[in-house]
Each structure stands twice: as C-alpha cells, then as structure tokens.
Structure 1
Amino acid sequence: MAAGRFLFFSLALGALGSLCVLLTVYWVQHWRGGFGWVDSDGIFNWHPVLMVAGMVVLYGAASLVYRLPQSWVGSKVPWKLLHSALHLAAFVLAVLALFAVFRFHSQKKIANLYSLHSWLGITTVFLYACQWLSGFAVFLLPWAPLEMRSLHKPIHVFFGASILSLTVASVLSGINEKLFISLRNQTASYPSLPVEARFANTIGMLVVVFGLLVLYVLLASSWKRPEPGALTDRQPLLLERE
C-alpha cells in the first residue's frame, strides 16, 4: 500500500515538475523572444529554463532516490550512483544557466552579481557544488572511515533540504526581478498585472508547490529507507557486494 501511494505521488511530482519546465519554456518563447546562442540576446532565456529543469526538477528527483521502495532491498550501489548522477546532471545544467546569464551581461555591459537574486543564486550553486563533492568523497569513495560517514550523513541531509529551499527562493526572486525589469517601460506595467506577469507568477507558485511536496516526502517517516544493520549501512562503495 505504501509503495503504491509513493508511486502515485512520484508520478504526480514528475508531472508537476515537467509542467514547471514546459511553462517556463513557453514564457520565454512567447513573451521574452525565444532562445539564442552565444552571440544572441536570446542566450539569457536559457537561464530560467535550465535553472528550473536542473536545480528544481532534477534536484528534486535526485533527492527522492532513496525513497523508492525498490532501493530498500539489495545493494545500495546502483542507487548511490543514480543519486550522484542525477545531482551531477542538475549541477551541469546550473553551470550552463550561469554561463548564459554571465554571457548576456557581458554582451550588454550589465554588471554581474548586483541584485539579491544573483547573490542568493550564486550562493545556492556554490553550496550545491560543495554538497556534491563532499557527498562523493564521503559516501562513494572507499577511503572514508565509518565514523566520518555517520557524522556527515545528517549534515548531508540538512544541506540537501536547505539547498532545495534556497533554490525555490532564487527562482521566485529571479521571476520577480525579470518581470520588473522587462515590464517597467511597457504600456502594461507590472503593477497592473498584465497577462505575462500572471503567467510567470503562476510558474513561481507551481515551483513552490513542487519544492514543498519534495520536502514533505523527504520528511515523511513512512517513506524513509529502513535502516539496515550498521555494517551494510556504512559500507564503502567498493566493498558493497550484496
């Protein structure tokens, strides 16, 4: 029964995450001039799409790998690798998103890291890099002693949830900043809430719902991976043979 509920919940989350990405693509394609490459103004529009796809949706999927009932039995090695690979893919998309915005600012002679959104976003990506590297070193490589794994696990879990929360905050501040900048000189200003503002605000609220649901699954005790014996729970990657 619990496995069936989790499967349904996972499918609903997948649909919601896909909707967030598709609506972001539609927003920048319909109102912001579409996509472009390195020397085009449209390069900026890759930034919101890649950030939502990577730091929100893929990050959420990676965070829930150990909640899959299939991961509760047998070797943890495949699930460790999947968890790490999804997080790495999310981080690569985040780096490409940062490249897009820095390149656009360079072309337009716009200062970098001047807003709260940029400060929050770059801090989130930096913490994400540290989180992935520390997790790789402690949980995947065979050199880490068992005491270090035990000590690092709650820290890893705390920062995992914190980075997702910071990501959602970054997305919301980014949407708001983009709307204020883009609409302030147009006939339908942001305070009048034109259609684009309504649409983008809806994306923001959907991202909030997605983030909250992921956090709920992470905190729900009935969906946590049962703790096996101390030996199998702490074994280094290269020593896990079961």
Structure 2
Amino acid sequence: MEGLKQFVVALCAAAVVGLVSIIFVLRWVLHFREGLAWDGGSAEFNWHPVLIVIGFIFLQGTAIIVYRLPWTWQCSKLTMKLIHAGLHLVAFACAVIALVAVFDFHNGAKIPNMYSLHSWLGLIAVIVYSLQLVLGVGMYLIPIAPVSWRAAFMPIHVYSGLFLFASVIAVALMGITEKLIFGLSDPKYKDSPPEAIFVNILGLLLVVFGALVLWIATRTSWKRPSDQIVHTLHTNGGGEDSTGVGPAMSQLSEGDDAEACGDVRRRNNKLDDQTNGL
C-alpha cells in the first residue's frame, strides 16, 4: 500500500498523543485540583476540562478520521456513516455535560456566566456543532435531501467539520490558560509552578493531536475509495490481505469521479466518495 507506513505512523502518533492528553487532564484534576464529583463545587467544574478533552477533542478527532482507516474499507458505507455519526453524537453529549458542569459551578459559587471570550466561543462551538450534527444526519445518514443538495452541501460539511475541530482545540487552550491564571495564586501562574508547567504541556499535546488529525484528514491519497472499487479490488485480489487495495489509493478518487457522470446512481457514488473527506 503506497503511503501505508506513513499513514500507520501518523495514526499511531495521533492515538498515542490523544491518549496521553486524556491521562494528563485526568492527572491534572485528580492530583493538582479537587478531583471529580457532582456537588456544585470545584470538583464538579473539573468535569468540564475532562469531558472536553475526552469527548469534544479526542472523540471528535477520531470521528473525523474514521473513514480513513483502510482496515474498515470492507465495511459497508452505511456502517461507517453510523460509526462516524455515533462518535460525533457522543462527543456532543460530552460537550453538553461539560457545559452543565461549569454553569452549575458558577451558579453555586456566585460567579457570573458567559463573561469571557472563552465562554462565548465555547458556547458558539457547541451550538454550531449541534447544527453540523443535525444537518449531517439529515443530509447523509437518513437521507432526506435531494442528491443535488447533498452534493452542494458536502464542501461546507467538510470545511465546517475541520474548522470546528480546530476551533474547539483553540478554545480549550484559552480555557486551560484562563483556569491557571485565576486558579493559581501562591505561587502565581507567571512564576511557573509545577501545575502550570504540567498543564502547558497538556496544551502542547492538544495542539499536536489536532495537527495530526488534520494531516490525516486532508491527505487525498489516504481517502477511502468508493464501495464499488473496494469490492472490485478485493475480489480481484482473491485471498490476499485486504490491505492490498492500498496501492491504488491515490488513483481511486479520480477514477470514481470520472465514472460518476453517467446516471443518478453513479452520482450518488460520487457523493459517497466525497463524504470520505472526513
């Protein structure tokens, strides 16, 4: 498979960095902060960074690149759509619970809500993410929209998904910096205590994870081919390993697009190919 080694390296690196980020955020709240609870206090607030990192960043990133895994290419497109949508739904649920946690904490501690740029952008990201999820399910999973609408919306769907993912990481970086500035008093954040250094490293891990996911998601040569082409290559390959479909990765997209101009069914195949961008 052309580019298989590079893909595996990038995928493994993203997985390791993402998992280490989760370990870091758990270590932060359990060791440096008050732990986790649902009591309206600081321990409830700590669910906010934990759920954002686990759900809104790690699971969202996984959902973005799930189509790119060549080991899943023998799965039906509907199955992959369900996995893609399911991961996004879980990520959205985590984001909503994270918002509830921070609002409960603020209300209990008599802290004003929605006063910082971090809170504004965070709420906007959750709202736009919910719209992206609803439109994605309505357009591509059910689908209830005409083929022409689906094709026209696809570039927006792909762009907004990648933009949202990058934005969520940026907002998370703002949030953890804000928490350190307000939460560290003796010594202060500017004095670089161990907690500050530890959380700064967490921020770097989130940036690296985001960069790896975006790299994997935007490489055309790693795009999932159409179901028809995968079936043909797998059939012609006989008993060979299923990853043998890989050498044609960079050529599959062009070939399928050329065949997609015939009739409505082929236009649907072309649309399905486009959906593999995420």
**Is the TM value for this pair above 0.5?**
yes
Larger Rg: 2
Which residue is 1:170 aligned to?
171
Residue type of the partner of 2:220? S
* Residue 268 (structure 2) aligned to one of 192, 209, 231: 231
1:148 CA drift (Å): 0.6
Structure 2, unaligned stretches of length 5 or more? 226-252, 261-266, 273-278
Question: Deviation at 1:36?
Answer: 1.2
The residue type equivalent to 1:102 in the other structure is F
Aligned twin of 2:200:
201
Tell me the amino acid that sits aligned with residue 47 of structure 1.
H
Asked whether the 8 Å contact 1:35–1:42 carries over to 2, the reply is yes
In structure 2, what is the Cα distance between the partners aligned to 1:18 and 1:221?
26
Instruction: Describe the superposition over 1:155-191 as per-residue Cα deviations: whole angstroms up to 9, x where unpaired.
Output: 00000110011111111100110000011x32x1111
CA contact (8 A) 1:3 1:69 kept: no
Cα drift, residue 71 of structure 1: 4.4
Over the aligned positions, Cα root-mean-square deviation in angstroms equals 1.5
Q: Deviation of residue 73 (structure 1)?
A: 5.0
Q: Report the Cα offset of residue 143 of structure 1.
A: 2.2
Looking at structure 1, the residues matched to 167 and 74 of structure 2 have their Cα atoms a distance apart, in angstroms, of 32
- Show CA shifts across 1:29-87 (max 9, x none): 11111111134431000000100011110000000011112444563111000000000
Paired residues for 1:131-210 under 5 Å = 131-183=132-184, 185-186=185-186, 188-210=187-209
2:240 corresponds to which residue?
Answer: none
Secondary structure of 1:64's match?
Answer: helix
Which 5+ residue runs of structure 1 have no aligned equivalent?
Answer: 236-242
Give, in angstroms, the shift of residue 5 of structure 1. 3.5
Q: Which residue does the alignment assign to 1:9?
A: 10
State the identity as a percent.
43
Q: In terms of mean alpha carbon deviation, does 12-21 or 53-62 score higher?
A: 12-21
Q: Structure 1 residue 219: deviation in Å?
A: 1.3
The residue that corresponds to 2:212 in the other structure is: 213
Are the counterparts in 2 of residues 55 and 167 from structure 1 also a CA contact under 8 Å? yes
For 2:40 and 2:222, how far apart are their aligned partners in 1?
47
Distance 2:224 2:123 in 1: 32
Partner in structure 1 of residue 237 of structure 2: none
- Matched-pair contact (CA < 8 Å) for 1:80–1:140: yes
What is the TM-score of this pair, normalised by structure 2? 0.80
Q: CA deviation at 1:4?
A: 4.4
Report how many aligned residue pairs link the two structures: 233
Return 155-164 or 68-77, whichever deviates more.
68-77
2:137 and 2:143 in contact (8 A); partners too: no
CA distance in structure 2 between the partners assigned to 1:13 and 1:89 by the alignment: 19
Counterparts of 1:62 and 1:105, CA distance in 2: 31
Looking at structure 2, the residues matched to 154 and 82 of structure 1 have their Cα atoms a distance apart, in angstroms, of 21
